[in-house]
Homo-oligomer: A and B are copies of this chain.
Amino acid sequence: MPATSTPSGGAPRVLGHPSRDAIRLEDVLHALADPVRLGIVLVLDEAEGECSCSVFDAPVSKSTLTHHFRVLREHGVITQAYRGTAKMNALRRDDLEDLFPGLLDTVLTAARRQAAAGLGAGASAAATGRA
């Protein structure tokens, strides 16, 4: 829905999401393979609903965060929608569950388990995310 005008250099108010059939396993895996994005998905999962972009404590700049959200969206992991100045994010649970049953849950559980293990083990290199 083109709100007012569609200026040549403006940020599009309409966000393109891949259709369910266009979601590929490799893409989802790739999207989830990044520590920052995995963290985002983890938060989104616990939020169980929508979430603004700026409630994440990721150690990256705003631009980078935008980039990660875009990757997540373009790979079919999340949905994004504008709401005033904020942008709400939500997991595509149904689509993901339908395409890859149990995948999201399993990965998220594994991520939490690893995070817990890492915290208890005095994670030094684990916290950085880079190996």
A24 to B118, CA, bound (A): 10
A124 to B23, CA, bound (A): 13
Cβ of A11 under 8 Å from chain B = no
Q: Which residues does chain B contribute within 8 Å of A126, judged by CB atoms? A: 24
Q: Which residues of A contact B (CB under 8 A)?
A: 21, 24-27, 29-30, 32-35, 38, 98-103, 106-107, 109-111, 113-114, 121, 124-126, 129-131
Shortest 9 CB-CB contacts between residues of A and residues of B = A100-B110, A29-B33, A30-B33, A106-B106, A102-B106, A25-B114, A103-B106, A25-B110, A29-B32
Task: Let me know if A109 and B101 touch, CB within 8 A.
Answer: yes
A103 to B104, CA, bound (A): 10
